[in-house]
Amino acid sequence: MERIGLIGAGRAGTALGAALAAAGHPLVGVTARSGASLDRAARLLPAVPVLAADEVTRSADVVLVAVPDDLIHEVAQTLPLTSAQYVVHLSGAHGLAPLSGLDATPVALHPSMTFPGGLVSLEGVMFTATAPDAARAVVERLVKALGAQVQWVADEERARYHAGLVHGANHLTTLVSQAVAVLREAGVADPVATLRPLLVATLDNTLRSGHHALTGPIARGDVDTVAAHLAALRGSTRRTYAELARATVELATDGRLDAETVRRLTEVLDGHRADPAGEAPR
């Protein structure tokens, strides 16, 4: 089993470190500087010593640089790495560039999971890796020890890969938060209970069937309903609704909408752009 050294005690790093330790990989040490990091390390990695970065690095076979994206290069350059080691960052957006020029074999390894600050099960989670061929065996061994899966993405596609995750996950939070607020403004006593079964079913159906799972007023060609929605909404929620509606019209041009309905929907949405802060077009 590879010895793991953890540089940084953020939410993702400590959760991954704890999971690797539980899978049998010895954690030789962790660095932690802030009060929050020290507390997190004490909670999630109670048996792991808090050491200086050079001590952690010299004792490890695999060094996880679990720091904010913009600090990866700066921090990694200070570590006393050797050619016998692997240096791994956990950023989704970055490839191998932040680890360039180091003696250790570089790896970009990103788990498609959210880390709220505690222990996280990584069973079945997909890790996306970018690494030289020489690192593939150790990456697959580490990921499989967690009960997770690994896939490989080219270095030049890391930003596109991460954009897909952010668009699907982070923007989902924005969308749901706006929907909850709209329902609350409409007088709905429990917006979450109202949305939950619909959202769960929609997400499941979409993951299974893609855009064929689409339902609702645009899929049905209900132009007047879309116009009424725009009239009822305000501010950033109205702008979000209109832009997503425009993208939804594009999805529905697979035979569900005729050309005239597409034209009328586009006219309504273009009218919103002409007067984004006022009433929906008549």
pLDDT in tens, 16-48: 999 999 999 999 999 999 999 999 999 999 999
pLDDT at 31: 98
How crowded is the C-beta side of 259, counted as CA atoms within 13 Å?
A: 0
| 42 lies in some domain | yes
Give, in order, the Cα–Cα distances in Å from 261 to each of 3, 143, 221: 62, 49, 6
List Cβ neighbours of 49 (8 Å cut-off, separation of 6 or more). 28, 29, 30
141, 168: one domain: no
79, 181: one domain: no
Task: Flag whether the pTM goes above 0.85.
Answer: yes
59, 109: one domain: yes
CATH (domain of 131):
3.40.50.720
**Domains held by the chain: number:** 2
Token pair, residue 27, equals 């954690």
147, 193: one domain: no
List Cβ neighbours of 234 (8 Å cut-off, separation of 6 or more). none
CATH (domain of 241):
1.10.1040
Model pLDDT for residues 162-208, shown as the tens digit of each residue:
999 999 999 999 999 999 999 999 999 999 999 999 999 999 999 99
Contact 45, 14 (CB under 8 A): yes
How large is the average pLDDT for residues 250-271? Answer: 93
144, 52: one domain: yes
Q: How confident is the model at residue 75 (pLDDT cuts 50, 70, 90)?
A: very high
Q: Is residue 275 scored above 50 in pLDDT?
A: yes
Ramachandran class of 101: left when φ > 0, alpha when ψ lies in -120 to 50, beta otherwise: left
| Share above pLDDT 90 across residues of the chain, in percent, rounded to a whole number | 94
